[in-house]
Structure 1
């Protein structure tokens, strides 16, 4: 089955890269659209077919990934709506855009799925939650699971959780990169070469994450395992607590989630 991408930016590129890595579908069976050839350059280099026509994506593919920026979704849906039939499955990757909003811009009975992947999907280590619209069939769920499980962890969930998912795992890689960069800066300050400090920091986060995922201990227990009484790590944890490390991460997730809810509210009001 062929796949079409409405949009050829970083989100589409990530999903395409992950599909190719997992050998889930060949590049020749994927097509992406963008307004100009310049926007298609990167995805074209992956071997994906390209077009400047959104309608062509819909007429030539049954599975459509909506991978445009949230503020462009409304116009794109209006453009493709006349070509959408009950044979299409549309998977939206846009943050802050509800299933209800998408369904309201498409013919009655459109099969709509909303998914929230993240950038590690491009290397098969992603995290994705998806939620289904009212007309989605069981075979649509099976196909969606197949696609996103090839990119990493995948689960179905209620749409009320999607904005929080976006704030934790969708935006989460950015928080992790800041943590890696900051750890590396600390290493450089204390005498490590930059290249070594970055590799040590990145591998440390990777290994720590695997211990959480593969073990049966809560993160706080794993943290306690590293903190010897009167040792160096507990002093470091004390500094993190003084700086509000936990508070900052919690508030970052809250801010991202509220922003996503705000985007959906604005879009729904514009529809009315």
Structure 2
């Protein structure tokens, strides 16, 4: 079962090697983590928005998948504005809470950074098949096959865990278990479901490990791959675009005088 749903239409980004997508996400993330300023984050976010037209997601899919990022960014910004490091003129103060020009600029930088780092990662993951990613990591990056295949098997079980959670909830409700109301009842019901899912996951993981071992997935012998993962010119162009976005973000911040190296 692919992580790409059938509603996602084929796109230029979907045909790119997953290793190239991963490299782009890492390049942009590393560049934005070198400094905490709003100019570099805003520049990266603006350039990323231009490229989102080729991601293959329609407007509804895009907003649904990136909703957690859009929710987290304002909360991170608000927390930093209220409790971040004070500098510059005081704009408002009440007790232990003080809002200054520096804390506002820092909050804006944090919020934009969350968006600039989170949105590309979610969009690229939505257009990536887990098997293709495993093929790329093993054949292009040359990671150990045992590690890659184990991670792929675990990732494939995520969807099953969600189905198991719903099945366990329905089964417990049919038996009248955990129907207590109130906050305490919901907490006990959640704890019971979580423990049951943990036990089920351990059992299924043990069976999966035994089955994979029996089929030779744990062998140290060089293995063949059903699908060849090729890192071509299109993938090089995509990585170059990611490098360009990272360089443009840093350059814009340096030219604007807002660049603050975090390790300085």
Structure with a larger share of its residues in strand: 1
- TM-score calculated relative to the size of structure 1: 0.28
- TM-score calculated relative to the size of structure 2: 0.29
Greater relative contact order (Cα < 8 A, sep 6+): 2
Larger radius of gyration: 2
